[in-house]
Amino acid sequence: MEIKNEMIVTRFPPSPTGYLHVGNARTAIFNWLYARHMKGKFVLRIEDTDAKRSTQEAIDAIFEALEWLGIDWDEGPYYQTQRLEIYNSYIERLIETGEAYYCTCSPEEIETMRQKAMTSGGKPKYDGTCRNKELSNIEGAVVRLKAPLSGTTIIEDVIKGNIVFQNEELDDFILCRSDGIPTYNYAVVIDDMTMLVNTVIRGDDHVMNTPKQILIYKALDCPLPVFGHVPMVLGTDKSRFSKRHGAVSVSAYKDMGYLPDAMLNYLVRLGWSHGDQEFFTRQELIDVFDLEHIGRSAGVFDPEKLLSLNADHIRATLPDELVAPLKPFLKSHGIEVKDSDLIKKVIETLHARSKTLEEMAENALFYFVDDIGYEEKAAKKFLKPAVLEALRLLIDQFEILDNFSEENLESAFKAVMDQTGLKLGKIAQPVRVALTGKTASPGIFEVSALLGQDKVISRLKKATRYIEDKG
């Protein structure tokens, strides 16, 4: 179902009480993609009326995570705490039209009502004591919606299908507290209505809130938005995704070296499909995303699948475009390189084998440090007296090269192979350990050419001394 003949307006309204959870990020992405696909608007709203838990630090973290993901907004950010006059004006309207009323029942009286209802087998709800008293706004009064006492409220959910609620099970719920702060369900409706939001895609933990919100829309004689409730993100044990399953904040994946496009791709596929396609570019997602193919079953967050998809995105990204994202990871290892062209060349040797930017940075360190250490097992297996002659001959070959190109390096290796009778692997693997400290690296010729003549010769000489000292 799509709204016809009007611009689609979606929104993302996080509460700034902590980091941006991957489940909430997926909701933001769905709304953003749908707005972009439909050439509509995406609104960012900060629901900060919980003064005790809302923090500026959390707001900044949310902005940072959204910006990293590439989620931009057309309107906002709006802040609920700056909109109290708007909420109050609609409260007055609801009072004037008889759709809401002031209630002065104390918390103790309401608890007694609920206990009495439960004792008689009913729902623990407000009994409507003040419903027809036409009370004025006195200190300590709350505002309640005059909800229908019979009939049904139906959520026409584009994802789950119709969901029916019996109105007799809903009570005259509070719209505005005694301190003048609006309740969640009321503020959400006024915000969406005044911001012209007509498509609400959110987690299915909000399903129980929706009938109350529908009643508020109807009391204001306002058209309903399209509702779509997305199943939760689960961990591999099928419980709600939490810290015991892995990192739950978007920022953690940024810090681990994941690409934003890979994270976007993975979270979209966690509950939405387009045939059997798994890998999507950002533009492809914008081109094909729809509400019809959001699934009804929960998505299971699999860190290994995300890691594999991230590796695919790294391989699909031009080395030029990885230079800037990689620099902070190199810097965290104490490596600051101003020569972007050098970093690009390093990336060209590593991006086919790197799963994250952090892994790429770790594997790139041998290019930049002045002194490398050897992995113990690697040195024990390959830096042995039997390879001393080959290493010395290779040093002699390298020292006379005018052009330290991959082609000339290969010729030098062949010359040493002819002189020693050794196969390439028997020479290349000790050289790899000498140059990188490890047994795995990009091709030995491209590594040598990029390290440069002086550094290669210096490291080979160090390896020969190491073997001699070990005896």
Give the active site residue among 116, 123, 243, 380. Answer: 243
- Spatial neighbors of 124 by CB under 8 A, at least 6 apart, are 114, 115, 117, 118
Q: Which amino acid is at 410?
A: E
User: Residue 350, Cβ neighbours under 10 Å: how many?
Assistant: 21
Cα 471 to Cα 465: distance, rounded to the nearest angstrom: 10
Cα 151 to Cα 216: distance, rounded to the nearest angstrom: 16
243 counts as catalytic: yes
Active site residues: 243
